[in-house]
Amino acid sequence: MAIYPPSNKLWWNEHIEKGELIWITVVVIWGIILTLMMPLWHIYGKQNMSSEAYRVTPEQYLAKAQEVVDQYTVRTEGAFNTPVVKPPVGSDIYLVGRLWQWWPIFELEKDQSYRLHISSIDWQHGFSLQPANINLQVLPGYDMVLTVTPNKVGKESIVCNEYCGIGHHNMLGTIYVVEKGAQ
Amino acid sequence: MNTTSQFRTCPDTGFKIHRPAETLIKLNAVAAVIFLLIGGVLGIGVGLTRWPEVHLLGPDTFYQVLTGHGINVLIFWIIFFEMAVLHFASAVLLGCRIATPKIGHGAFWLMVVGALVNNYAVMVKGNSSVMMTSYVPLPADTLFYVGLILFAVGALINCFMFLGTLVIARGERTYEGSVPLVTFGALTACIIAIFTIASGAVILIPTLLWNLGFVSHIDAGVYRLIWWAFGHSSQQINVATHISIWYLTVAVLFGAKPLSEKVSRFAFLLYIAVLQIASAHHLLVDPGLSSEWKIFNTSYAMYLAVMASMVHGLTVPGAMEHAQRARGYRSGLFEWLRKAPWGNPVFSAMFLSLVGFGVLGGITGVVMGAEQINLLIHNTMYVPGHFHGTVVVGTTLTFMGITYWLIPIVFRRQVVMKRLASWQPYIFGAGMSGVALFLMGAGTLGVPRRHWDILFTAADGGHEFSAAALTMMSLNGMSVILAAVGGAAFILVVVVSVFFGPKIPENQKVGTFMMAPRVTDEEFATNKAPLTVPGTLVLVAVFFVVFALYYFINWKYLAQTWGLS
Q: How many A/B residue pairs have CB atoms within 8 Å?
A: 308
Q: Do A47 and B564 touch (CB under 8 A)?
A: yes
Longest CA span, chain A: 80
> Dmax of chain B from CA atoms?
75
Question: A80–B255: do the CB atoms touch at under 8 Å?
Answer: no
Chain A positions touching B453 (Cβ under 8 A) are: 169-170
Distance separating alpha carbons of residues B494 and B31, to the nearest angstrom: 12
**What is the rounded distance in angstroms from the CA atom of residue B267 to the CA atom of residue B122?**
39
CA gyration radius, chain A: 24
Does residue A124 register a pLDDT over 80?
yes
A140 falls within a domain: yes
CA distance B201 to B479: 36
Find out whether B446 and B472 touch, Cβ atoms under 8 Å. no
What pLDDT is attached to residue B83? Answer: 98
Q: Which of B177, B306, B461 sits opposite A78 (nearest CB)?
A: B461
Reading phi first (left if > 0) and then psi (alpha if -120 to 50, else beta), residue B197 is in alpha
Residue of B nearest to A35 (CA): B299
Please say whether the beta carbons of B447 and B469 come within 8 A: yes
Compute how many other C-beta atoms are within 10 angstroms of the C-beta atom of residue A67: 12
For residue A143, list chain B residues with Cβ-Cβ distance below 8 A. 287
Type of residue found at B443: G
Cα angle B325-B329-B331, degrees, rounded to a multiple of 5: 105
Cβ distance B370 to A129 less than 8 Å, yes or no, reads no
Q: Name beta bridge partners: A160.
A: A127
**Long-range interactions of B123-126: CB distance < 8 A, separation 24+:** B123/B64, B123/B68, B126/B60, B126/B64
Assigned domain for A156 exists: yes
Give residues with Cβ within 8 angstroms of B191, minimum separation 6: B272
- Over range A80-90, report the average pLDDT: 97
Cα angle vertex B44, ends B38, B46, to 5°?
Answer: 105
Identify the bridge partners of residue A127 per DSSP, sorted by sequence position: A136, A160
Question: Other C-beta atoms within 10 Å of B142: how many?
Answer: 13
Does residue A119 lie in a domain region?
yes
**Coil, helix or strand at residue B187:** helix
CB distance A47–B563 less than 8 Å?
yes
Number of domains in chain A: 1
The predicted structure's pLDDT at residue B3:
58
pLDDT at A17 over 80: yes
Distance from C-alpha of B541 to C-alpha of B527, rounded to nearest angstrom? 23
Query: Does residue A29 form part of some domain?
Result: no
Which residues, listed in sequence order, are joined to residue A134 by a DSSP beta bridge?
A: A129
Q: How far apart are CA B532 and CA B29, in angstroms?
A: 37
CB B111 within 8 A of CB B150: yes
- The region, left, alpha or beta by phi > 0 then psi within -120 to 50, assigned to residue B131 is left
* Probe site for chain B from A137, A157, A164, A171 (most B CB atoms < 10 A): A137
Angstrom distance (rounded) from CA A136 to CA B337: 44
Q: What is the distance in angstroms between the Cα of B258 and the nearest Cα belonging to chain A? A: 6
> By CB neighbour count within 10 A (0-12 exposed, 13-18 middle, 19+ buried), where does B437 fall?
buried
CATH number at residue A69: 2.60.40.420
Q: Does any domain span residue A40?
A: no
Domain assignment present for residue A148? The answer is yes
Expressed in percent and rounded to 5, the helix, strand and coil fractions of chain B are 70, 0, 25
CA–CA min distance B391, chain A (Å) = 21
Mean pLDDT for all residues in chain A: 96
Most B CBs within 10 Å, among A7, A20, A108, A109, to test the B interface: A20
Q: Please tell me the distance from the alpha carbon of residue B357 to that of residue B241, in angstroms, as a whole number.
A: 13
Nearest CB among A78, A141, A149 relative to B460 is that of A78
Residue A35 within a domain: no
Residue A88 pLDDT class (50, 70, 90 cuts): very high
Contacts of A140 in chain B (CB under 8 A): 137, 220
Distance CA B381, CA B383 (A): 5
Treating both helix axes as pointing N-terminal to C-terminal, what angle do B78-87 and B101-119 enclose, rounded to 10 degrees?
Answer: 170
Q: Which residues contact B156 (CB under 8 A, 6 or more apart)?
A: B193, B194, B197
Question: For residue B52, is the peptide bond before it cis, meaning its omega torsion is within 30 degrees of 0?
Answer: no
Q: What is the pLDDT of residue B61?
A: 98
- Nearest in space to B456 (alpha carbons), one of A137, A122, A128, A21: A128
- Do the Cβ atoms of A24 and B138 come within 8 Å? no
Give the pLDDT of residue A183. Answer: 66
Measure the CA–CA gap between B384 and B476, rounded to whole angstroms: 12
Domain of A162 in residue numbering reads as: 53-178
Render each residue's pLDDT in chain B as its tens digit; 565 residues: 455 689 999 999 999 999 999 999 999 999 999 999 999 999 999 999 999 999 999 999 999 999 999 999 999 999 999 999 999 999 999 999 999 999 999 999 999 999 999 999 999 999 999 999 999 999 999 999 999 999 999 999 999 999 999 999 999 999 999 999 999 999 999 999 999 999 999 999 999 999 999 999 999 999 999 999 999 999 999 999 999 999 999 999 999 999 999 999 999 999 988 776 777 899 999 999 999 999 988 887 778 899 999 999 999 999 999 999 999 999 999 999 999 999 999 999 999 999 999 999 999 999 999 999 999 999 999 999 999 999 999 999 999 999 999 999 999 999 999 999 999 999 999 999 999 999 999 999 999 999 999 999 999 989 999 999 999 999 999 999 999 999 999 999 999 999 999 999 999 999 888 999 999 999 999 988 888 999 999 999 999 999 999 999 999 999 999 999 9
| Residue A93 counted as domain residue | yes
Can you give the pLDDT at residue A159?
98
Q: Is B543 within 8 Å of A113 (Cβ atoms)?
A: no
Determine the average pLDDT of the residues in A2-9: 93
pTM, entire model: 0.97
CA distance B553 to B145: 42
User: β-strand A125-130 against A134-138: which pairing, if any?
Assistant: antiparallel
pLDDT at B513: 85
Q: CB of B114 within 8 A of CB of B147?
A: yes
Decide the pairing of beta strands A172-178 and A105-109. Answer: parallel
- Return the ∠ at Cα B277 (arms to B214 and B85), rounded to 5°: 90
